[in-house]
């Protein structure tokens, strides 16, 4: 049964579910319904109960308990892929018994997946890897999680001898654009606790994540003919550059790791009259997170004093917060996950997420929800890959975790 996880993943990867940034609708792209409806039908066919796809493209299902009086446990993964890289016409290829050398992804374009660039490959010598053709992402983030949860569900439904309490399953849209739980039906889902299956390499277990905010900045300038601009022109682009130069040089993603936060300039455009910048702000520490936002505000105030009121407009919006404080009172979620990993021969890697998951916001909505690995590497790009052996092991892990909550 576990071998079905590969077949499922390859099938789901072929469905284009790319989400779209800055859309007011949920889902942000109607094509996400294609996979949602497919998953719902598969769940019905395997015997899951209460299967539904709602108007916002959330898939819900349940597996009735065969052991009574236990907590209701949920498993969640997202269906969409990141907007920045094509998710259409994904054509995965399996590299059997990887030999440790360069993998030719695309002969025509001479694109290679090389351990010289990605030393994580060294861990997978002798394993079977699913790779891209070098022109699209793979979609293991998070269709690997979807496939692993679906295979777990199929395993439980076809093996009634495996003890388990009631299991709830949900697949979400728009996680990659920060809207994955905007319309999540917590009450209807009905779980006491849940796990997102949305992490990276095998063994990763995460219950700490960034506090996150977004900043949109508009700089208003004044265009004057360059021949007579002295003392009159106000160049919005130069003021935008000045804004950025006032941020700490080493507090950006290029220079940070672990628990270190950052300011990330994610977009910049404009001309003399009007310049726009978009930042993401991240920090695990709540106090440092607030300080970063205050620094942005102080720079804006300074530049408005220097160049005139209204020159720089700043819009700050929090995205999500560190789930740690919501998970700590329910630390059995971490202890049981670690024990389940060790039981199936996986070494737990407990580390902070340098990003976020649906579980971050769900935890603040009343559903404690740490994050489990999928086995994938190099998410969000054409060098993405995943080990078949890791995917199979994740399915074992999920089944073992379910059994532990039935004890």
- Return the structure tokens found at 228: 């007579």
Quick one: angle between helices 332-343 and 388-404, nearest 10?
Answer: 130
- Return the structure tokens found at 50: 């209460």
State the residue for tokens 């071998």: 3
- What is the Cα–Cα distance from 101 to 242, expressed in whole angstroms? 45
Angle ∠(73,77,78) on CA atoms, nearest 5: 150
Angle ∠(20,198,53) on CA atoms, nearest 5: 60
| 3-state class (DSSP) for residue 372 | strand
Which among 16, 174, 175, 377 is annotated as catalytic?
Answer: 175
Nearest by Cα to 38 from 67, 16, 22, 21: 16
Which among 16, 42, 80, 166 is annotated as catalytic?
Answer: 80
Q: Is 80 a catalytic residue?
A: yes
Distance in angstroms between the alpha carbons of the first and the last residue of the chain: 23
- What is the Cα–Cα distance from 345 to 340, expressed in whole angstroms? 9
Residue numbers annotated as active site: 80, 175
């Amino acid at each position: 049964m576990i071998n079905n996880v590969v077949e499922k993943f390859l099938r789901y990867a072929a469905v284009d579910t790319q989400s779209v940034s800055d859309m007011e609708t949920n889902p942000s792209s109607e094509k996400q319904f294609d996979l949602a409806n497919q998953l719902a039908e598969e769940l019905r066919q395997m015997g899951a109960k209460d299967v539904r796809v709602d108007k916002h493209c959330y898939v819900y299902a349940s597996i009735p308990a065969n052991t009574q009086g236990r907590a209701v446990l949920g498993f969640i993964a997202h269906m969409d892929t990141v907007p920045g890289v094509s998710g259409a016409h994904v054509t995965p290829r399996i590299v059997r018994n990887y030999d440790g050398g360069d993998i030719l992804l695309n002969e025509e374009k001479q694109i290679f997946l090389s351990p010289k660039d990605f030393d994580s490959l060294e861990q997978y010598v002798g394993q079977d890897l699913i790779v891209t053709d070098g022109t699209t992402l793979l979609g293991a983030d998070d269709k690997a999680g979807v496939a692993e949860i679906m295979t777990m569900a199929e395993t439980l439904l076809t093996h009634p001898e495996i003890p388990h309490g009631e299991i709830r399953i949900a697949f979400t849209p728009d996680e990659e654009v920060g809207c994955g739980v905007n319309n999540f039906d917590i009450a209807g889902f009905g779980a006491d606790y849940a796990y997102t299956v949305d992490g990276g390499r095998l063994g990763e277990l995460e219950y700490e994540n960034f506090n996150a905010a977004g900043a949109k900045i508009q700089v208003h300038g004044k265009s004057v003919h360059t021949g007579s601009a002295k003392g009159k022109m106000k160049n919005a682009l130069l003021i935008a550059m000045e804004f950025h130069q006032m941020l700490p040089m080493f507090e950006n993603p290029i220079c940070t790791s672990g628990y270190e936060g950052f300011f990330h300039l994610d977009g910049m455009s404009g001309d003399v009259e009007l310049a726009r910048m978009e930042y993401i702000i991240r920090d695990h520490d709540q106090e440092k997170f607030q300080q970063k936002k205050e620094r942005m505000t102080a720079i804006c105030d300074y530049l408005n004093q220097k160049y005139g009121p209204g020159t720089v407009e700043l819009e700050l919006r929090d995205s999500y917060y560190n789930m740690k404080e919501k998970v700590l009172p329910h630390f059995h979620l971490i202890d049981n996950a670690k024990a389940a990993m060790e039981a199936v021969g996986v070494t737990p890697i407990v580390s902070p997420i340098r990003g976020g998951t649906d579980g971050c916001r769900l935890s603040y909505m009343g559903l404690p929800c740490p994050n489990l690995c999928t086995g994938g590497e190099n998410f969000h790009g054409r060098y993405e890959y995943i080990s078949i052996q890791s995917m199979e092991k994740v399915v074992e892990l999920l089944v073992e975790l379910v059994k532990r909550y039935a004890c």
